[in-house]
Every structure is written in C-alpha cells, then in structure tokens.
Amino acid sequence: MSATLTTAERRLSAAYDAYHLARSRTTVVADLYAKAMGEHYPADAAPSSSLDLPLLHLMTRRLGLRPGDRLIDLGCGTGGTGLWLARATGARLVGIDISPVAVRIAAARTNDFVPANRAAFRVGTVRATGLPTSYADGLVCVDALGPAGDRGQALHEMHRILRPGARAVITRAISHTAGTRWRGQVQKAGFGIDHVDERPHEPRIWRTLYRLWLAHADKLRHELGDAQAESMLVEAGRMLPTLDQRRAVALTLQRR
Ligand SMILES: C[S@@+](CC[C@H](N)C(=O)[O-])C[C@H]1O[C@@H](n2cnc3c(N)ncnc32)[C@H](O)[C@@H]1O
C-alpha cells in the first residue's frame, strides 16, 4: 500500500472487500449483470460496473496501445477490464484497487487472459497509486473515480503517472444539470479532452439491473448474506429514480 488511507478510504476498502468476497462465492451477481446486458455482457471480464462489450471495443480504439505498452486499470476491481484489454492489445497491465480482496482475486485470474508476467495487481488508491511518474502509456478507470470531491486528486494522479501524449479513458455519469464544470476540472489537471463518447443505452442497463436486484432480493440475501444484499438493495432504491438524469459518457483524455 502506497499511502496511508483516510478514514473514508478505510471504510470504502472494507466495504468493497466485503462485496468482492461475497460476490466471489456465488454466480448470482454475474448472472444478473448478464441478464441486464444481454448480448453485450463481457462474460470473461465479469465486471462490477457498466462495462459492456461496446465500451471495451471503444477503449481499445481510443487508447491506441501497442504490444508491450504499459496500461493502468485504476479501480480495477477483480481485474476483468484491464486483463481483457491487455489480451486484446498486447499491453502489459498494472491494476490498482483499494480493496485487497479484489486485488487478490484479480491476480488469480491473470492466467485466464495473459501470461503471468504481463499483469500485476496492487493495492492503492486513485489519488495515490504508488507508481512512478510518467510510467504508463494508457489508463482506464471504469466507474471508480469516486465522489466529486475526490476527482480532482484522482485526475492529478492520473496525469502524474501517464507519459506526455498518453491517453486515459474514464467513465463518468454527468447529471444533465451539471453543465460543463467537469471540463474545467479535467483541463486543470493537465488533460486535453480528446473524445466525449455518449453511452445513451447505459442508464437502461442500470434500470434493468436494479430492477433485477429488487426482484431477486431473497436470492441475493441467501447467496450474499443479509448485509451485502441490503447494501445492493439500498443502492437500487436510491439510484432508480435518478437514472433519467444520468448522462453516461466515456471520456478520452490526453495528457499534455
Ligand atoms: C464499481 S467497482 C468497478 C470495478 C471495475 N473497474 C469494473 O469495471 O469491474 C469500483 C471499484 O473501485 C474500487 N475503488 C473505489 N474507490 C477507490 C479508490 N479511492 N481508490 C482505488 N480504488 C477504488 C473499489 O474497490 C471497486 O473495486
């Protein structure tokens, strides 16, 4: 671990440890993601996010990685996004996540995608990765950028670890009322905005998924335990009414 965690980060780490551990013991969560995404579900990546096949193909195109390039997956969870991209592009991967459980599971999945020497996973945060300056040729961050207050620090860290000219693809949900504040934040961190790819189908995925969670509440409780299931059900109840305001985008940023 590269930096001392704040109290909020310690809580986040413990919460995600519990989630990833519970999810690893059952297929129910993956099954419901598969149902919600249909033919776009990337079964081998098995994401805990809005990552679907169109997004993986988009990231491959936007990053423009060459074999041997260094790719960072920030907030990698159990590693599927970065491993899928490393396999598709020939890049070497470093995955970073705040959850030691996620990092352990990700490392154990490496051989399903690439030879062991092509991927490494370590515990770190989006604001303190512990990686050297100008280390990476590309970066992805899927649904892991955190709350608004933390985004500035995360963007500065991304800028620090990318070499000049390298690209990052990050997913964002921007509320329709948010205006263009996010542009200023990205530019202040030293990035140019290369592409803003709209993902208009994404709120539909979440709507379907959250309804599936609610419809399978008993099964989730049985398979994941009450505490974990409850936090998913609370998320579903809280997020469902907000989805009409959700503008989902994939931002491609270029480090100046
Ligand atoms: C919604 S999941 C997405 C995981 C993965 N990107 C995917 O697409 O499946 C968010 C992940 O980000 C990690 N995370 C959340 N906050 C973080 C932070 N501040 N620093 C590093 N990782 C973080 C969590 O542990 C979790 O694995």
Residue 2 lies in a domain: no
Domain extent for 150 = 7-255
Per-residue pLDDT tens over the stretch 73-101: 999 999 999 999 999 999 999 999 999 99
List the residue whose alpha carbon is closest to atom 21 of ligand 1: 125
Residue 201 corresponds to which tokens in the numbers above?
């189908």
Cα–Cα distance between 128 and 250 in angstroms, integer? 23
Burial label, 20 (beta-carbon count in 10 A; 0-12, 13-18, 19+): buried
Q: Is the pLDDT of residue 1 over 70?
A: no
Expressed in angstroms and rounded, the spacing between residue 98 Cα and the centre of ligand 1 is: 7
Pocket test of ligand 1: the residue of 10, 44, 48 to mutate, having most ligand atoms within 8 Å of its CB, is 48
Residue 18 lies in a domain: yes
Integer-rounded Cα radius of gyration of the chain: 17
Residue 1 lies in a domain: no
Expressed in angstroms and rounded, the spacing between residue 219 Cα and the centre of ligand 1 is: 25
**Contact status, residue 189 vs residue 139, Cβ threshold 8 Å:** no
Ligand 1 lining (C-beta closer than 6 Å): 9, 12, 16, 47-49, 51, 75-77, 80-81, 97-99, 102, 125-126, 142-144, 146
Per-residue pLDDT tens over the stretch 47-81: 999 999 999 999 999 999 999 999 999 999 999 99
Cα–Cα distance between 11 and 118 in angstroms, integer? 31
Residue 156 sits in a domain whose CATH number is 3.40.50.150
Residue 192 lies in a domain: yes
For the chain, the domain total comes to 1
For the segment 34-58, the average pLDDT, to the nearest whole number, is: 98
Using the structure block, give the residue that is written with the tokens 């609370």. Answer: 234
